[in-house]
Structure 1
Amino acid sequence: MSERPKPKPGWLAHPVLSLLLAAAWLVLQQSLAVPQLITAVVLALVLPRLLHGFLGPGARLRRVPVALHFAGVVLWDIVVSNLIVARIVLTPGSDPQPAWVPVALDIRDPTAIVLLATIITTTPGTVSCVVDEDRRRIMVHALDCADPAELAAQIKQRYEQPLKEILG
């Protein structure tokens, strides 16, 4: 029995990626001139279609308002974490307490797990290093962590729970 060839993806197989690509192009160009708008549309339509085989199926957002709030939380945490890390680095005699923190995962969706690991790594002072083979936990290295259980609880509450709502 031969396999059927995979159908070609539609022009908007990854609509969120397309929107982000177009917005990023326009922000980088700092212009809404017609040539820049045309380039943004072409990039938004062509790149996801060309990369479809590498990207896999597009993730569908279940709750857009939660996703927008979540983006704000992540951006806020990045700013606050930058300030905390700067204080640790610039304060003479500071004594950070690095720690490895295991975070048990409730999410199973590979996209959600990758996003969680990316958010953790993007937030200064923490790095996600290992996602266990069975995807039951993620190991996080924290620059300064007095209470590993509290950090794990914060990651689950601030990041994992909203991802579960957004991506299902």
Structure 2
Amino acid sequence: MKWLARVLPAPLLSFSVLLLWLVLNGSLSAGHWLIGVALAVLVPLATASLRPEPARVRAPLVLTRLILQVGRDVVVSNVDVARGVLRGRRRPPRGRFVRVPLDLRDPHGLAALAIIMCVIPGTVWSELSLDRTALLLHVFDLDDEARFVEHLKRCYERPLMEIFE
């Protein structure tokens, strides 16, 4: 079985590549299966150096709370952004860039934070400093920068540190 792990170092990625190839071509012919299997073997081997080490979740209960918090914030932010758009002529949104100092260093945690910031309406991940100590976000409508930064650190960064570090 060691030979299989060497040939397919990322079985889920291999399966996804094969499935994507077949779906994009809209054919289940033998030729497409052959090309798909070849790609499913070669792509993960060629991209092995790009994949980080596997993540280890250290606090599953914290992960569950984080998912619920993100879900709540997505709903609240959707309503806030809709209100901001609808009242735009009376009071235009006060969009600004916010620099957030980071304590989180784990690459998996940073990737999760990037996903969270992109999922929540009204926030856009703009830049991560080269030394990974600061994050630049654009916020659609911001009243209190200090409160926003405190919320981000308390609700997202600290749980991610518990989960991944």
Question: Which of 1 and 2 has greater Rg?
Answer: 2
* Structure 2: tracts of 5 or more residues without a match: 17-39
Match of 1:145 among 128, 142, 145: 142
Retained in 2: the 8 A contact 1:108–1:135? Answer: yes
Q: Secondary structure at the match of 2:137?
A: strand
Following superposition, which runs of at least 4 residues in structure 1 exceed 6 angstroms of deviation?
Answer: none
Q: By how many angstroms is 1:104 displaced?
A: 0.4
Aligned-partner Cα distance in 2 for 1:163–1:89: 31
Q: Alignment RMSD, CA only?
A: 2.6
Aligned-partner Cα distance in 1 for 2:112–2:135: 12
Aligned-partner Cα distance in 2 for 1:112–1:164: 7
Relative to the length of structure 1, the TM-score reads 0.69
Aligned-partner Cα distance in 2 for 1:122–1:108: 21
Q: Secondary structure at the match of 2:149?
A: helix
Range with bigger deviation, 59-68 or 88-97: 88-97
Aligned twin of 1:33: none
Aligned-partner Cα distance in 1 for 2:92–2:134: 28
Structure with greater helix percent = 2
Match of 1:124 among 107, 121, 124: 121
Q: Secondary structure at the match of 1:74?
A: helix
Q: Kindly provide the amino acid, as one letter, of the partner of residue 8 in structure 1.
A: R
* Structure 1: tracts of 5 or more residues without a match: 1-6, 22-45
Aligned twin of 1:59: 55
Match of 1:86 among 82, 103, 118: 82
Retained in 1: the 8 A contact 2:8–2:44? Answer: no
Q: Kindly provide the amino acid, as one letter, of the partner of residue 85 in structure 1.
A: V
- The answer as to 2:155 corresponding to 1:158 is yes
Aligned twin of 1:112: 109
Match of 2:67 among 66, 71, 76: 71
Q: Kindly provide the amino acid, as one letter, of the partner of residue 96 in structure 1.
A: P
Q: Secondary structure at the match of 2:6?
A: coil
Aligned twin of 1:8: 6
What does the per-residue CA deviation read over 1:64-96, in whole Å, with 9 as the maximum and x for residues that have no partner? 111011111111111110111011112252321
Range with bigger deviation, 52-61 or 135-144: 52-61
Aligned twin of 1:27: none
- Overall identity of the aligned pairs, in %: 35
Aligned-partner Cα distance in 2 for 1:9–1:106: 38
Q: By how many angstroms is 1:9 displaced?
A: 8.3
